[in-house]
Amino acid sequence: MKYTELTKQFRQLFELPLTPVAVKFNTDDEPNIPHPMRYCEIVRKAAAFGTSYTCSADDMSCASAELALGFTEPAYGDVYPRIKTADTRTMTITPLDICEFEPDVVVVVGTASKLMRVAATLSKVKGDMVNAKFKGEFAVCGECTTIPVMENKVNLSLLCAGARMFSDYRNDEIVFGFPMEAFVELTESLKEESITKALCGCLMDDLPARLVDAILALGFTKGTDHFIGRFGDEIVRLYIPKDESGKSSSVTLHVPVKFKDADASKASEDGASCLFEEPMNYRLRDNWMDAILLIELHEPIRRAAMKPEKFNALVNNGIEVMLDRVAKFKRKTIQ
């Protein structure tokens, strides 16, 4: 089957119990509907039971779908959304995994929590918000089939009363409609490391992405618990301490200076106490002297990092001070 793997990949990642449904207008297949049905009912049956249907206007039991899907032109006024010009003769609706043709649209039925994950991934792939146009009428037919075809856009629908009352959609289900190309793009992007990477799934901190980006932009790279970067002749570590209640409003910069042994590092303490005065500090660790500079941000770090000029100036200035003092310390003690 042409789309078996694609469907499997999509369902696995989003843990969707129902199969995405492929829809094609005007196929060569013969209508095979046992009795007239609603279009949305056909879609859900295909998704849940793996059945395939080809239908014509005569097989439609819902006038709204007939209009929206372009089987007939509206007699009075206009209808939105609808297939223009109304030249639909037949439609084939089949589970995507057994689909042999190139679909026009893929309809995905799922719970709000599952489709929220689809939306989050979609927005990452597109780098933009997911725009949804819906009004609770003409839902599966118009909002999730016609709009993707006519406007070449992914669309989300909260469904309509018909779908919920007559077509077995559960109260917690909603529907996404994808132009085929967009569905393929989304599913193939799931292979991209940037979207799916997670070595162990453990979050080692709760730093927001914006803050991490702000620190990386200063020339650091992120470690597990702290940031590390090369500045001048030194490797500087940046750590974000938290107070007792878990709040952060400062950063500390660290430069460990190595001595030949613990005695030598202890002997350098006098020099350290002169050079590393408030807001600097130092700590002996065996044969190392860890120089520390505390940079008070006077506001939560998340907010501070949103003012790049001030934040960068504070940290860069801190790095400069740190490099200067460490160089002096090394001149005094090591050289």
Partner 1 sequence: MQEEFQLNLDIYKNLNRGIESTYINLNPIQRGGVLTAEARKAALEFADGYSVCDFCFESRVDLVQNPPVRNLTADIAEFLNMDDVRFTAGCRHAKWAAMHMVTEPGETLVLDSLAHYTSYLAAEANQLKVVEVPHSGYPEFTIDPEGYAEKFEEVERNTGSLPALALLTHVDYRYGNVADAASVGKICKEYGVPFLLNTAYSSGIMPIDGKKLGVDFLCASGHKSWAASAPMGILATTFEWNQQVFDKSTIRGDWSGRGFTKKEVALFGCSPVFGVPVMSLMASFPSVVERVKHWDEHVENARYLASQLERIEGFHQMGVKPTEHTLVAFESLPLFEAAAKTKKRGYFLYHELKKRKIIGIQPGMSKSFKLNTFGLSRVQIEYVANAFIEIARKYDIPVEDEA
Residues that bind partner 1 (CB under 8 A): 199, 202, 221, 223-226, 228-230, 235, 237, 239, 241-242, 244, 252, 254, 256, 258, 260-261, 285-288, 290
Half-sphere exposure of residue 84, counting CA atoms within 13 Å on the CB side?
9
Q: Please identify, using beta-carbon distances, which residue of 134 and 282 lies nearer to partner 1.
A: 282
How far apart are alpha carbons 282 and 79 in whole angstroms?
A: 74
Instruction: Give the shortest CB-32-to-partner 1 separation in angstroms.
Output: 25
| Closest to 189 measured CA to CA, from 120, 287, 102 | 120
Contacts of 18 (CB under 8 A, 6+ apart): 44, 47, 48, 108, 109, 110
Instruction: Give the shortest CB-193-to-partner 1 separation in angstroms.
Output: 11
Q: What single letter denotes the amino acid at residue 224? A: T
| Closest to 250 measured CA to CA, from 302, 288, 200 | 302
User: Which residue in this structure is represented by tokens 């799922």?
Assistant: 110
Instruction: Give the shortest CB-48-to-partner 1 separation in angstroms.
Output: 20
Instruction: Give the shortest CB-228-to-partner 1 separation in angstroms.
Output: 5
Exposed, middle or buried: residue 213 (CB in 10 Å: 0-12, 13-18, 19+)?
exposed
How far apart are alpha carbons 329 and 262 in whole angstroms?
A: 17
Q: Please identify, using beta-carbon distances, which residue of 75 and 203 lies nearer to partner 1.
A: 203
Q: Please identify, using beta-carbon distances, which residue of 111 and 287 lies nearer to partner 1.
A: 287
Q: Please identify, using beta-carbon distances, which residue of 28 and 244 lies nearer to partner 1.
A: 244
Q: Please identify, using beta-carbon distances, which residue of 129 and 199 lies nearer to partner 1.
A: 199
Instruction: Give the shortest CB-158-to-partner 1 separation in angstroms.
Output: 33
